[in-house]
């Protein structure tokens, strides 16, 4: 059976459970790589609407997973309910567990100095296994990029997680995909900040209510107000326009 696909802004989003998402990642480990796998939330949609290159990267990725309340609301509004909130933060422990069971290794790239390294230690403490092939912060120059890529390739990692923020991480991966000798590459945003303890995760009740973005805004108001206040308004306007277009298409049909 083929996976359900939710088309939003012409981006094919895999409407699957977290468990199926992990299974898909492992299926791509068997492909001729690297396979690009990404996540999209409301902010990503806003960026994709104005950044043609980023939009094309998402459209052509091996898989794109639905992340957050905004995408769930979009699915409900457009008559395509989203099966699960497949965000990278929740998926990371599951990926680590699967790595431990299958002998798969991860390389963590991104964040401030020591952040990826601390997240790597969390992953190995969590699984009790040596699943980390290496880590490197995201603060390297263009001139240093070849040596970073060589370090990644030499590590023989199976999955590369890149946390550089949207759309920088996706653009970086697309730009260097031919040089990277890694079966699966994934853009994971601020994931390392959570698992290094740099930024605390929202309480479970806020995650359950779908308002984790409020917590993130509280943690970093100066940096996040534009994304979550203005960005959410832009996203809802875009969604309403899509709803109007959908109704017009039904009338014409």
Same-domain check for residues 79 and 189: yes
CA distance 99 to 152: 17
Whole-number percent of the chain with pLDDT over 70: 99
Same-domain check for residues 21 and 141: yes
The predicted structure's pLDDT at residue 248: 76
Same-domain check for residues 161 and 225: no
Same-domain check for residues 179 and 225: no
Same-domain check for residues 144 and 67: yes
Kindly report the pTM of this predicted structure: 0.94
Q: What is the 8-class DSSP label of residue 3? A: P
Range of the domain at 49: 5-206
Domain count, the chain: 2
Contacts of 44 (CB under 8 A, 6+ apart): 58, 67, 166, 167
Q: Where are the alpha helices (DSSP H) in 33-87?
A: 42-50, 52-59, 69-77
The predicted structure's pLDDT at residue 217: 84
Whole-number percent of the chain with pLDDT over 90: 80
With H, G, I as helix, E, B as strand and everything else as coil, classify residue 164. coil
Structure tokens given for 60: 């052509």
pLDDT tens digits, one per residue of 49-95: 999 999 999 999 999 999 999 999 999 999 999 999 999 999 999 99
7 beta partners: 12
Same-domain check for residues 175 and 234: no
With H, G, I as helix, E, B as strand and everything else as coil, classify residue 78. coil
Same-domain check for residues 141 and 157: yes
With H, G, I as helix, E, B as strand and everything else as coil, classify residue 225. helix
């Amino acid at each position: 059976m083929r996976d359900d696909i939710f088309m939003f802004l012409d981006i094919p989003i895999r409407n699957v459970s977290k468990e199926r998402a992990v299974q898909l990642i492992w299926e791509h480990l068997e492909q001729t790589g690297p396979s690009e796998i990404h996540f999209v939330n409301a902010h990503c949609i806003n960026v994709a609407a104005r950044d043609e290159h980023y939009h094309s990267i998402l459209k052509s990725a091996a898989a794109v997973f639905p992340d957050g309340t905004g995408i769930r609301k979009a699915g409900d509004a457009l008559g395509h309910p989203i099966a699960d909130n497949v965000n990278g933060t929740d998926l990371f422990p599951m990926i680590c567990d699967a790595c431990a069971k299958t002998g798969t290794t991860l390389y963590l790239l991104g964040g401030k100095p020591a952040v990826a390294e601390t997240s790597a230690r969390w992953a190995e403490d969590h699984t009790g296994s040596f699943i980390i092939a290496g880590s490197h912060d995201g603060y390297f120059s263009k001139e240093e990029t070849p040596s970073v890529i060589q370090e990644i390739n030499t590590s023989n990692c199976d999955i590369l997680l890149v946390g550089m923020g949207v759309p920088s991480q996706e653009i970086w991966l697309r730009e260097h995909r031919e040089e990277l000798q890694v079966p699966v590459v994934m853009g994971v945003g601020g994931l390392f900040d959570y698992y290094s303890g740099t930024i605390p995760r929202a309480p479970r009740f806020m995650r359950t209510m779908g308002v984790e973005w409020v917590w993130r805004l509280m943690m970093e108001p100066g940096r996040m107000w534009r994304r979550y206040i203005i960005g959410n308004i832009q996203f809802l306007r875009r969604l309403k326009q899509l709803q109007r277009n959908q109704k017009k298409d039904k009338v014409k049909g």
